[in-house]
Structure 1
Amino acid sequence: MSDLTTEHVPSFDGAKLAVHRMGERAGRSVLLLHGLFSSAEMNWIRFGHAQKLVDAGFEVIMPDLRAHGESDKPHDSAAYPPDVLAKDVAALVDALELADFDLVGFSLGSRTAVRAVITGVTPRRLVLSGMGLEGLAGWSRRADFFIDAIDRFDEVKRGDPAFMAVSFMKTMNVDREAARLLLQSVSDTTPEDLAVITMPALVVCGDKDQDNGSAPSLAEALPDAIYAEIPGTHMSSVTEGALGDALVGFLD
């Protein structure tokens, strides 16, 4: 694996975001945003996606989102204003002086990437993985599901619809108080909002992943997007080598 470095970058409100980097600084930068309850290491490094991008000549920049991984996990509700994750992305782009870069998200990272572009971030190309059209506009339903899982954390048993979410939170040692606050900060995106996302985009999703609605419909709703299908469910598709191959194929 290429050398991995980590730095902590202050965001717009002073919260420290852990930013992991691989590849030559002279390479084209790709900003990778992981999914809910996950981390840069889990989504991008462990299964080789970051290394494939590095091997193709990119520098990969992988923050741990606020309340995740090695980033700050404040327990003050004031630290989670609406669109806080999009504000963090904008702050990182400014702090790291990313003038020419691509933006990639998985699941919550895709929602964040969409919100970041709508609110002013301008990547060269955009990749949305693990995301469908209905998921962007239906965050409250998803948030309620995960908040319920957090509130019933010690009661959830195998067979409960929340079992997999709770198991993953345990695996990732999630700070539940911070996560609960974060879940209430994510803004919805309507199909009409997508008109401003004019850069070339790739929507990539597992063939058994319907967690966030229809990925092909999301590709159709974007002004300049293509759809690619890879194997897997929502949880397993991010472990598939096909995801890294799709990223390289589109961004290279």
Structure 2
Amino acid sequence: MTISTHHWIASDGVDLVWHETGEGRPVVLVHGLFSDAQMNWIKFGHAGQLAAAGFRVIMPDLRAHGASGKPHDPARYPAGILGRDLVELVAKLGLDDYDLGGFSLGSRTSVHGVAQGLIPRRLILAGMGLEGLLGWEKRHEFFLEAFDKFESASRGDRHWFAVQFMKSQKVDRVATRLLLESNSTVTEAMLEQIVMPTLVLCGDDDRDNGSATALAEKLPNATYAEVPGTHTTSVTKKALGAAMVAFLTEG
């Protein structure tokens, strides 16, 4: 599988990156917090599965993540910035008939993108529950606490795994903290805009972002599917990519 990497400049001058593989119908995949396209979509084969199924897989690295710019200026992190970046990327690529999916923060970003005008044919919200959208403040506070305990968290601490993942990903703590502090809220009105066919896809032991089944029930045109694993491990399972392919190719 060949992956190409491309740079583009957002409207506020920040250098951002997307990665691409495959040919065919475009699907834009948005990774989770502290991660990047390589970790969420490429490493465990999900992009490859989609490319083999006839998709052009477009995978941005969010601002403050991966190979994208990591500005330390708070002005570069207004509310809704990740959704705005996503809207600008779709426009830059000239996509008018495409699918969209995200994992965890990528799901929140996809919701923000739809709220800001994106209209994908189909939408995938993975690693996300209702409380992770409408009650983001608790997760937001948890991650800010993890930053505060970056050097002191010990095994058994509830922040331990988050801190270890941040360290493994070599996150830019200044940039990602500024992004978190922007705390872009999802509202009921935003969820009402998600009228396209939507797959809510979650690990069978993933409760990190609340109830995925409640999210599926909340949306007017959604189905729920499970894959094995927790929030951390479900994204490593081939079943995740297989479920995405099945949803995007059905009918």
TM-score, structure 2 as length reference: 0.97
Q: Is 1:198 matched up with 2:195?
A: yes
Whole-angstrom CA distance in 1 between matches of 2:9 and 2:106: 19
- Does the 8 A contact of 1:132 with 1:216 survive in 2? yes
Whole-angstrom CA distance in 2 between matches of 1:217 and 1:234: 17
- Does the 8 A contact of 1:20 with 1:40 survive in 2? yes
Q: Which residues in structure 2 correspond to 1:118-157 (within 5 Å)?
A: 118-157=115-154
Q: Is 1:89 matched up with 2:86?
A: yes
| 1:62 alignment partner, SS class | strand
Deviation at 1:195, TM superposition (A): 1.3
Whole-angstrom CA distance in 2 between matches of 1:134 and 1:160: 23
> Which residue is equivalent to 2:19?
20
Percent of aligned pairs sharing the same letter: 58
Deviation at 1:191, TM superposition (A): 3.6
> Which residue is equivalent to 1:62?
59
Equivalent residue letter for 2:186:
T
> Which residue is equivalent to 2:210?
213
Matched positions, count: 249
- Unaligned regions of 5+ residues in structure 1, if any? none
RMSD: 0.9
- Does the 8 A contact of 2:216 with 2:224 survive in 1? yes
> Which residue is equivalent to 2:6?
7
- Does the 8 A contact of 2:111 with 2:190 survive in 1? no
Deviation at 1:192, TM superposition (A): 4.5
TM-score, structure 1 as length reference: 0.97
Residue among 105, 113, 126 paired with 2:110:
113
Equivalent residue letter for 2:52:
D
Whole-angstrom CA distance in 1 between matches of 2:166 and 2:184: 22
| 1:104 alignment partner, SS class | strand
Q: Is 1:188 matched up with 2:198?
A: no
Decide which moves more: 99-108 or 137-146: 137-146
Deviations 1:6-56 (A, max 9, x none): 0111112121111100012xx100000000000100000000000000000
- Does the 8 A contact of 1:33 with 1:113 survive in 2? yes
Residue among 35, 38, 45 paired with 2:32:
35
Whole-angstrom CA distance in 1 between matches of 2:162 and 2:151: 12
Whole-angstrom CA distance in 2 between matches of 1:193 and 1:126: 14
Equivalent residue letter for 2:228:
P
Equivalent residue letter for 2:79:
P
